[in-house]
Amino acid sequence: MHLTQDNYYGQAANEHYFSVSQYKDFMKCEAAALARIRGEYNPPPTRAMLVGSFVDSYFEGTLEAFKRGNPVVFTRRKELRAEFRKADEIISRVKKDPLFMQFMSGEKQKILTFGMFGAPWKMKMDSFSEGICITDLKVVANFRNLPLWRYDLQGAVYQKGAEICGYGQLPFYLAAVTKERIPDLDIFQIPQATLDMALQEVGRNMPRFIAVKNGSEKPDCCGVCDYCKSVKRAGIRNYNTLLEG
């Protein structure tokens, strides 16, 4: 299956390929991940996700189209909502920083597909500088919580994917900017040892996720996520257990 900007996030692409976000979905809840792949569960993007996409689209050169396609960025009075005024402020801030702009100056939204750990994968890079590095743009609440998002998994898969596609082993960077009152900005390199460990982790989990995705093993339900709540049946429980823990 040939991927383009138009079909990259489509259901057919998600059924055929694994991606970092799909892998992370499987880690959180297999049942929800599978329902999402099959198009049975489509949580709308959160405002926080849209703020990230808003800034991404600026670098892609598609901000005006993004605004037209996402009327939720405007209030009823046709003004930008506060979160997206913040996004505008973030864009102005990073535009003034030469290093940040240098890291974001590669080929935008470059798509690669490849085989890894016995499955087909897809990936889309925010900024790809051939022979130099891969950079992903992150708009985050603060730097402190950056590692909680497991961007090492993304870096590991993107680095290995580019290598499999013949681009050599490239360093992986996060061009990160915060939504704080005064935005902070830096370029974080994920160390090679961290990427290597993350890739091993992906390799260990893939046999199970492949089996769940192709239907040969049954997905586990986490029991607590939005998807699991939406399909569960009520049970009878001991009131007192709510006071424990």
* Residue number with CB closer to Zn ion (82 or 231): 231
Residue 3 interacts with Zn ion (CB under 5 A): yes or no: no
Shortest spacing between CB 29 and Zn ion, in angstroms:
3
Shortest spacing between CB 44 and Zn ion, in angstroms:
17
**Segment lying near Zn ion (by CB under 5 A), choices 27-35, 40-48, 54-62, 86-94:** 27-35
* Residue number with CB closer to Zn ion (101 or 224): 224
* Residue number with CB closer to Zn ion (26 or 172): 26
- Residues that bind Zn ion (rule: CB under 5 A) add up to a total of 5
Phi, psi of 4 (to 5 degrees): -130, 175
* Residue number with CB closer to Zn ion (211 or 231): 231
Nearest-angstrom CA–CA distance, 103 and 132: 10
SS (H, E, C) 7-62: CCCCHHHHHHCECHHHHHHHHHCHHHHHHHHCCCCCCCCCHHHHHHHHHHHHHHCC
* Residue number with CB closer to Zn ion (29 or 175): 29
Q: Which of 85, 222, 230, 232: binder of Zn ion (CB under 5 A)? A: 222
Sketch the per residue contact string, 175 through 214, with Zn ion: x for CB under 5 A, - otherwise. ----------------------------------------
Instruction: Give the three-class secondary structure for 76.
Output: coil
Instruction: Give the Å distances, CA to CA, from 58 to 80, 134, 163, 172.
Output: 15, 18, 28, 21
Q: Which amino acid, 63?
A: L
Q: Which amino acid, 95?
A: K
Shortest spacing between CB 226 and Zn ion, in angstroms:
8
Residue 228 interacts with Zn ion (CB under 5 A): yes or no: yes
Residue 34 interacts with Zn ion (CB under 5 A): yes or no: no
Shortest spacing between CB 71 and Zn ion, in angstroms:
31
* Residue number with CB closer to Zn ion (184 or 220): 220
Instruction: Give the Å distances, CA to CA, from 4 to 8, 10, 90, 197.
Output: 6, 10, 28, 31
For residues 185 and 178, the answer to whether their CB atoms sit within 8 Å is yes
- CA-based Rg of the chain, rounded to a whole angstrom? 20
For residues 29 and 222, the answer to whether their CB atoms sit within 8 Å is yes
Residue 65 interacts with Zn ion (CB under 5 A): yes or no: no
Q: Residues interacting with Zn ion, by CB under 5 A?
A: 29, 32, 222, 225, 228
